Amino acid sequence: MNKFSIFGKMHWLPVVVSILAFFISCTEPPHTPKDLLKEALIPQPVFVEADGSSFSLTDKTAIVLLNGESSEDPEGAEKVGRYLAGLLKPATGFDVQVRTSGSESDDGNIYLQLNDSSPSGIAESYELSIMENRVKLTAGDPAGLFRGIQTLRQLLPPSIEKNTPQQGPWEIATGTIRDSPAYPYRGGMLDVARHFFKVEDVKKYIDYLAMYKMNALHLHLSDDQGWRIEIKSWPELTTRGGSTEVGGGEGGFYTQEEFKEIVQYADDRYIMVIPEIDMPGHTNAALASYAELNCDDKLRELYTGIEVGFSTFCTDKEVVYKFIDDVFGELAGLINGPYIHIGGDESHVTALEDYIPFVNRVQEIVKSHGKQVIGWDEIANATLLPNTKVQYWAEAENAKKGIAQGAEVIMSPARKVYLDMQYDSTTRLGLHWAAYIEVDSSYIWDPATLENGIEKQHIFGVEAPLWTETIDKLDDLEYMVFPRLPGVAEIGWTPASERNWADYRLRLGAQKKRFEALGIDYYPSAKVPWSDTLVTRPVQ
Ligand code: TNX
């Protein structure tokens, strides 16, 4: 017998293949979720009911828009459907069809339905029913459909986040989720003044906000170190004021076209952009661009350090108000949302008797352009217009002065949600003037009980600011934002009664694979049980 005949006939091949397959399947068991209650979602939905089976997304699955009862924004559902198809495409490789139909059936499709009223009556709420042979997502507004899609996304295996085709199966545990936000406003702030961030980076940030159901991007567009938005009537603001940044780098600015692109990208994700032009302090970049904004008519030097509180507009010069009117007039034309942020913080070299009439007059200017004012908590020392909102960051007493005037408060307590604060003394980035903020500390607080006298009914929502004195690239931004941002998003969305750190840390730990699939440079805090396998949480 030919001693090679056994190899020649290849009898061994199927055996080796099945042994290999066995080992591969042992190391990477397919994610076959059966219990919706054990899925690690962030923010935790308000209501979850499991029914013990699973739905499978396949190359046959279509996204079907049901003719709902919605009269307004009929294109909304289609836009969200296309977004979902786009989200699913890279990792599954499926060309998911988006089409319209009058009825639904058990055909393995995902149905989207927009009704005139949402199940809860609250904006952005949704109901997601996952059945063995179909998924149905219903909402009262397109934003609700969009938020529901983020839930669906998190129920799929983390590999759904990769941008190249991955191995399925794409299964989701069956059951029902009914969900709505605790607060109408949930935002992230990005300081593009201290260090400039390109349009592409801002879009990434918007995607991160969207993933956790946040609905506002506050852009800090001007400060001592830079002016970042083109104002056609005052061109030196960007040619000179935008030409540098902290540390002396080249800075940059958004043309109005680029800014509109950012606004549109955010709008497609049901996120409003709130532009901030900080004043009367934090204005050195403007004071270095136009001499007439200074009381002494002398142009200031560009500034690339990180001190605060040394600059001020000349509050009793008429040209200053003409300038502000021009700036806010142009800005108002670039945004879709109702708010313009006027800053107002740390005006240490503006006398209070100048500061108050200044803020009063600037509110009127914003109003004249059809927008409402948001300002840092110091503005509550002025007389607030009826719709003005106060952003609490440092002084609870200021926020309470705002509440006494009937203003709603945005909660951004520096010691809890300033994402530029170091996690601990060894963090290579960030500051620590407010606190070292570990992941547990940024999660364990409740906006409605943090300060006596600031209660749920006074609060518009929460916002996590990222100041960028020490942050100049996307990887570093991600390191400070992840994993604290998802926690702030949950504080804004999930009722306090449904939140606890013991459960949250498990759900956060289960995001590891998702962060990795997205290429996010997160801080691997020792407070969190990061888990490679999708360890699902114990259900209480
Ligand atoms: C305080 S928060 C500031 C910012 C700084 C930040 C650094 C606020 C309204 N003002 O100008 O960038 O601290 O953490």
Q: Where are the domains of the chain?
A: 36-179, 185-518
Phi/psi at 119 (5° precision): -55, -35
For residue 392 and ligand 1, the question of a CB distance below 6 A is answered with no
Distance 418 CA to ligand 1 centre (A): 9
Atom 4, ligand 1: residue with shortest CA distance: 467
3-state secondary structure of 423: coil
pLDDT band for 404, please (50, 70, 90 cuts): very high
- Specify the higher pLDDT residue, 467 or 67: 467
**How many Å apart are CA 2 and CA 331, to the nearest integer?**
85
- If phi > 0 it is left, if psi is from -120 to 50 it is alpha, else beta; for residue 439 that is alpha
pLDDT at 354 over 80: yes
- Percentage above 70 pLDDT, the chain: 91
pLDDT at 456 over 50: yes
pLDDT at 69 over 70: no
pLDDT at 458 over 80: yes
pLDDT at 220 over 60: yes
* Short-list 377, 474, 484, 372, CA closest to 422: 484
Q: Are strands 47-57 and 170-179 parallel, antiparallel or unpaired?
A: antiparallel
What's the distance, CA 483 to chain centroid?
A: 13
Please enumerate in sequence order all residues whose Cβ is within 8 A of that of 395, keeping only pairs 6 or more positions apart, or say none. Answer: 377, 378
pLDDT at 535 over 90: no
For residue 345 and ligand 1, the question of a CB distance below 6 A is answered with yes
Instruction: Give the number of other Cβ atoms within 10 Å of residue 91's Cβ.
Output: 22
Peptide bond into 483 cis (omega under 30): yes
Q: 395 burial class (0-12, 13-18, 19+ CB within 10 angstroms)? A: middle
For residue 435 and ligand 1, the question of a CB distance below 6 A is answered with no
pLDDT at 85 over 90: yes
pLDDT at 308 over 80: yes
How far does the chain reach from its first CA to its final CA, in angstroms?
A: 67
Instruction: Give the number of other Cβ atoms within 10 Å of residue 191's Cβ.
Output: 26
pLDDT band for 116, please (50, 70, 90 cuts): confident
Strand partners for 175: 50, 130
Q: What tens digit of pLDDT does each residue of 324-342 get?
A: 999 999 999 999 999 999 9
Question: Where in the sequence numbering do the catalytic residues fall?
Answer: 346
- Percentage above 90 pLDDT, the chain: 89
- Among the four given CATH numbers 3.30.379.10, 1.20.120.80, 3.30.70.1140, 3.30.450.20, the one describing domain 36-179: 3.30.379.10
**How many Å apart are CA 175 and CA 188, to the nearest integer?**
31
* Short-list 32, 92, 22, CA closest to 63: 92
* pTM for the full predicted model: 0.93
- Specify the higher pLDDT residue, 68 or 335: 335
Q: What is the average pLDDT across 433-453?
A: 98
Q: What is the average pLDDT across 115-142?
A: 92
What does the DSSP 8-state code read for residue 229? Answer: B
Q: What is the average pLDDT across 16-31?
A: 52
For residue 493 and ligand 1, the question of a CB distance below 6 A is answered with no
Atom 7, ligand 1: residue with shortest CA distance: 467
**How many Å apart are CA 357 and CA 333, to the nearest integer?**
26
pLDDT band for 32, please (50, 70, 90 cuts): confident
Q: What is the average pLDDT across 107-124?
A: 89
**How many Å apart are CA 160 and CA 165, to the nearest integer?**
9
Count Cα atoms within 13 angstroms, Cβ side, for 334.
26
Beta strands in 198-251 (DSSP E): 216-220, 222-223, 226-227
Question: Are 162 and 170 spatial neighbours (Cβ–Cβ below 8 Å)?
Answer: no
Q: Which of 345, 436, 470 to mutate to test the pocket of ligand 1 (most atoms within 8 A of CB)?
A: 345
For residue 448 and ligand 1, the question of a CB distance below 6 A is answered with no
H or E stretch covering 123: none
Q: Which CATH class is domain 185-518?
A: alpha beta
Distance 466 CA to ligand 1 centre (A): 9
pLDDT at 4 over 50: no
Q: How far is CA 330 from CA 89, 138, 241, 334, in A?
A: 38, 38, 17, 7
Determine the pLDDT at residue 52.
Answer: 95
**How many Å apart are CA 199 and CA 258, to the nearest integer?**
7
pLDDT at 536 over 70: no
For residue 308 and ligand 1, the question of a CB distance below 6 A is answered with yes
Distance 430 CA to ligand 1 centre (A): 12
Ligand 1 atom having least distance to the Cα of 306: 12
**How many Å apart are CA 493 and CA 148, to the nearest integer?**
13
Distance 249 CA to ligand 1 centre (A): 20
